[in-house]
Amino acid sequence: MIRQVTWAGSTVLVLVAALYPGAAAAHGDAPIEADPCARRVGESVVHFSTYQPQYELKAQYCTEIPKTGETFMVVDLVDPALRNVPVGMRVVKGVDGTIDGTEAQTVADWRPSHHPDGVVRGEAKLDEGLYRVIITAEGKSPSRYQYLLRVQMIDYQKLVLSIVEPLVGLLLLAWLAYKIVKSKWLRSWWSVLRS
C-alpha cells in the first residue's frame, strides 16, 4: 500500500512539473547570460526592452510585441565602456533588408550619441509585421547588436505548445485516475469502508 501511494505521489509531482515548465524560465531574475533580451558582442553587453503603456502600464516585452501602435524602446548599456562611446539605434521594417521584394523602410533612427546614464531611449509607431532593431556602438572596435521584433503576430509554435502541454498533462492525469480506480488497493479500501 505504501508503495502504491509513493508511486501515485511521485506521478502527481511529475505531472505538476510537466504542466508548469515555464515557471523556471522567468525573465525577471534571469542572469544576463540566460536573458533572451541581452546581446553580447565580445565583452560588451546590451539589454533591450519595449513598452506599450497605453495597453499595459507595467508590461515589458523583448521581441514579441503584442499590439501595434506607439512603442517605447529602451536599450540598457550593461557594459560601462559603452557609456563612453556614441551609441545609436535604428528600427527597420523587414528582416533581410527587403519587404516583399522592395527596399526595407527605416521606421525610426536615433543617430549615435553619448549616453552617460547608460540608457538609449526612443519611441516609434509600429504596425503589424517583422522589424529589425539595430544598435550600433562606435569607437575603436565598433559593435553591432540586432533584435528581431514580431509585432502583433501569432507565434504558432508557442500556440501549439500552450495547447499540447496541458493536454498531455490531462491525459496523464486521466491515466493515473484510471490506474487508481482499477487498483486492488482501492477496491479493498472501498470494501472496508462499505462494511
Residue 30: predicted pLDDT: 61
Instruction: Flag whether 25 is in a domain.
Output: no
- Which residues lie closer than 8 Å to 101 by C-beta, 6 or more apart? none
Cell reading at 43: 565583452
Residues 177 and 101 placed together within one structural domain of the fold: no
Residues 168 and 125 placed together within one structural domain of the fold: no
Query: Mean pLDDT, 10 residues at a time, over the chain (195 residues)?
Result: 48 46 45 81 87 92 91 92 91 70 79 93 93 87 86 78 87 86 73 75
Please give the tally of structural domains in the chain.
Answer: 2
Residue 96: predicted pLDDT: 65
Residues 37 and 88 placed together within one structural domain of the fold: yes
Residue 142: predicted pLDDT: 73
Q: What's the Rg (C-alpha) of the chain?
A: 25
- Which residues lie closer than 8 Å to 168 by C-beta, 6 or more apart? 18
Give the amino acid at 108: A
Contact (CB, 8 A) for 27 and 188:
no
Residues 81 and 143 placed together within one structural domain of the fold: yes
Cell reading at 103: 527596399
